[in-house]
């Protein structure tokens, strides 16, 4: 994937907007740090790293449907990993050159919350060969009925 080719222009305004104080109050410190300041939770500590329950993963910031359990796979990388978003419009991909690396950042398309990064070509036996490496604290699993 050429990150630039698959990147939605950042000028696309978020549909869900809140003040910094509102985000802080609603999310709590850990989710705020990840979603609003692009922090990364420590590996193997997240609530959903090894979760195999069926359901839909929503954005913890705004409730948008982001991923489905059917595309979650065991990557052993320490974070929940998905090979495809629930809907290609659910996330925004953005080139990220922080920390001296070139990565592709994954954002919620609705609130522009930081979710994690997407990597590809790592050889995982998945249909897309992509790994959406997502912070647990940015998600909320809604179990299937
Ligand atoms: Zn969101």
Q: What DSSP assignment string belongs to the chain?
A: --TTTTPPPTTS--SS---HHHHHHHHHHHHHHHHHH---PPTT-STTTT----EEEEETTT--EEEEGGGEE---SSS-EESS-SSTTTEEEEEE-GGG--EEEEEETTT--EEEEEEE-S--SSSS-EEEEE-GGGEEEEE--
Asked if the model's pLDDT at residue 93 lies above 80, the reply is yes
* 136 CA distance to ligand 1 middle (Å): 13
Overall average pLDDT of the 134-141 stretch: 98
Question: For the chain, what is the domain count?
Answer: 1
Question: Residue 81 above 50 pLDDT?
Answer: yes
User: Average pLDDT of 89-115?
Assistant: 96
> What residues are annotated to the active site?
133
Report CA(62)–ligand 1 centroid distance (Å).
Answer: 4
Listed range (3-7, 61-65, 97-101) with the worst mean pLDDT: 3-7
Query: What would the pLDDT profile of 104-125 be if each residue is shown by its tens digit?
Result: 999 999 999 999 999 999 999 9
pLDDT in the model for residue 1: 45
Question: What CATH number does residue 79 fall under?
Answer: 2.170.150.20
Q: How remote is the CA of residue 144 from the centroid of ligand 1, in Å?
A: 20
**51-78, pLDDT tens digit by residue?**
999 999 999 999 999 999 999 999 999 9
Show the domain range for 36: 3-143
């Amino acid at each position: 994937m050429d990150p630039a080719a698959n990147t939605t222009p950042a000028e696309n305004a978020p549909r869900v907007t809140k003040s910094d104080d509102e985000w802080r109050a609603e999310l709590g410190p850990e989710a705020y740090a990840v979603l609003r300041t692009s922090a990364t939770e420590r590996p193997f500590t997240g609530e959903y790293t090894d979760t195999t329950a069926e359901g839909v993963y929503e954005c913890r910031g705004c409730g948008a449907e982001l991923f489905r359990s059917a595309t979650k796979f065991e990557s052993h990388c320490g974070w929940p990993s998905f090979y495809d978003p629930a809907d290609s419009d659910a996330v925004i991909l953005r080139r990220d050159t922080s920390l001296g690396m070139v990565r592709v950042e994954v954002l919620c398309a609705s609130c522009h919350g930081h979710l994690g990064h997407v990597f590809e070509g790592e050889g995982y036996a998945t249909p897309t060969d992509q790994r959406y490496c997502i912070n647990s604290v940015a998600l909320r699993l809604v179990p299937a009925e």
